[in-house]
Structure 1
Amino acid sequence: MPADQHTPNAAPAAETTELIRFDGVSKRFGAHTVLDALDISVYTGRHVTLIGPSGSGKTTILRLLMTLLKPDGGTIKLGGRYLTHEERGGKLVPASDRYSREVRKNIGMVFQQFNLFPNMKVLRNITEAPVHVLGLDADAAEERARELLELVGLTAHLDKYPSQLSGGQQQRVAIARALAMRPQVLLLDEVTSALDPELVAGVLDLLRDIARSMDITMLCVTHEMNFARDISDCVLMFDAGRVIESGPPERIFTAPEHERTREFLSAVL
């Protein structure tokens, strides 16, 4: 199998299905190729972590799934439906914004920067999208938000503005906001990189609890290797826009096969 063709959890349990599929996906910025004909699959309920040096294409994958970027080649599917393309008249054409938004409803993302609405209190930050995007009744959205605030330990702060919270608290609100959409897939993009060191452990512990207790597919970009080892079913090692190695965390972290993986891990562990 070529280095850029990887199927995380290549032998998934019989009841799981392919949820995310990148098929020959390329992305370039000018003359720089960020993703090079990438082929990967992620199965329902699995937790897949992307590791590798900065600039190797990891965050680009998440941004493509959120349709914040468009691929220059190849196709992406979510739940069997094309994400950045759609079929019209028997042909595959670039998707309309409306079509992509509809498919993207099944994805939630937690960003490096918290991206909360500064003019909205915590509770409304969480209810806004379920009401206006999913069409959820306001009372039902508030009930869901309160449950999630209890999950992330912020019930006492629901009437505060983001500026009144610590960075760790803001990131917890961002996690609750993403989960409020009841996504099939939760994307995590270096969610502790903007936090003070003493706040990192609490956020990572929360995400560990979510990974263990919720039936949700997770795709995570992180430089927190112990966290990756704890939550992952599969780890993908990226370098220069390709997956050069993949496998269960026990093997990747203790007996990597690729020299570049060994070099990277020796620098970060």
Structure 2
Amino acid sequence: MPPSEATPEAPTPEAALPHGDTPGIRFDKVVKRFGSNVVLRELDFTVAPGERVTLIGPSGSGKTTILRLLMTLEKVDGGTIHVGDAPLSHMDRGGKLVPANEKHLHEMRKQVGMVFQQFNLFPNMNVLRNLIEGPVRVLGLPKDEAVERARGLLDMVGLSDKIDAHPSQLSGGQQQRVAIARALAMQPKVLLLDEVTSALDPELVVGVQDLLRDIARESDLTLLCVTHEMHFAKDISDRVLMFDQGQIVEEGPPDQMFESPTEQRTRDFLQAVLAT
């Protein structure tokens, strides 16, 4: 092939990962209700730039609601959320914070990526189009640059040979790897993980967890994870937060949280989860 027609070499896996200034997350007295059910009760917590934090706790304790608020899939009923130095749920107007309009939310969404339980790939698009659709349409990235980025990410997740496949032709583990690559293709500063292995067969869980551990090591993403996989939480986290009834019961480094938690509620939860 003549040099002018050569295909650009895909970036290395490390080059494909997001790097640079990474914002943190701050919840300030955040309230979220669904009808009469108060899911989050004046919640205060922060995630430092580049920190990896895992949320644990029983189902219904508000963990996934936190992720959905950060993705602007839900709106706060009270308090404010910041990503980096900018308010996410609100915007400045004349020196006062008012609820964010769609334009502000659109800009803020570019900083946050999420990997869901159920993959949520576009079934009518092949793997490559799943990865380039967002960067081209939302970020305005030139198509050839988006394709180069996608190739590097697919190489990183071990699926470079599936670039033309459709989601229905992939295993669950492969679909989740594509979903991870698609989230990273948007080069978010914050990555949210919502029970990313819960829909996988047990033999596929380890491979996806290993991939996420590599991403955590090799990027400077701020990472917020919800999981019931306690060993994974211990390996990937700088800090673990125990939630119950919309509030933080206890928090600390993984070794302390899993080996010598101070709160009885945490001990009871971990005993129940680790016994299954």
Shorter-normalised TM-score: what interval? over 0.9
Matches within 5 A, 1:39-54: 39-54=44-59
1:138 and 2:137 aligned: no
Residue 180 of structure 2 corresponds to residue 175 of structure 1 = yes
TM-score by length of 2: 0.90
Alignment correspondent of 1:211:
216
Identity percentage of aligned residues: 69
Name the SS for the 1:193 alignment partner.
coil
Q: Name the counterpart of 1:103.
A: 108
Matched, 1:231 2:236: yes
Could you tell me how far apart the structure 2 residues matched to 1:17 and 1:78 are?
10
Q: CA deviation at 1:18?
A: 6.4
Q: Pick from 258, 266, 269: which aligns with 1:261? A: 266
2:12 maps to which residue?
none
Residue-pair matches, total: 254
SS of the counterpart of 1:67? Answer: coil
1:38 matched residue in structure 2: 43
Q: CA deviation at 1:90?
A: 2.5
Match among 64, 71, 96 for residue 66 of structure 1? 71
- Could you tell me which amino acid in structure 1 is paired with residue 183 of structure 2? A
Q: 8 Å contact 1:50–1:220 — kept in the other structure?
A: yes
Q: Deviations over 1:148-188 (max 9, x none)?
A: 00000000000000000001000000000000011111100
Q: Report deviation, 1:60.
A: 0.3
Give the distance between the partners of 1:218 and 1:168, measured in 2 at CA.
21
The answer to whether the 8 Å contact 2:22/2:221 transfers is no
Structure 2 counterpart of 1:9: none
Aligned with 2:133 (options 118, 128, 131): 128
Looking at structure 1, the residues matched to 23 and 124 of structure 2 have their Cα atoms a distance apart, in angstroms, of 39
* Paired amino acid for 2:226: V
Give every structure 1 segment of 4 or more consecutive aligned residues whose post-TM-superposition deviation is greater than 2 Å: none
State the 1:91 CA deviation: 2.2
Corresponding residue for residue 159 of structure 1: 164
CA contact (8 A) 1:17 1:43 kept: no
Shift of 1:216: 1.0
Letter in 2 for 1:41: T
Shift of residue 17 of structure 1? 8.2
- For the residue of structure 1 that corresponds to 2:73, the secondary structure is coil
User: How far does residue 31 in structure 1 lie from its aligned partner after superposition?
Assistant: 1.0
Matched, 1:150 2:149: no
Is 2:123–2:167's contact at 8 Å kept on the other side of the alignment?
Answer: yes
- Relative to the length of structure 1, the TM-score reads 0.93
Aligned with 2:225: secondary structure?
strand
User: RMSD between aligned alpha carbons?
Assistant: 1.1
Q: Secondary structure of the equivalent of 1:227?
A: helix
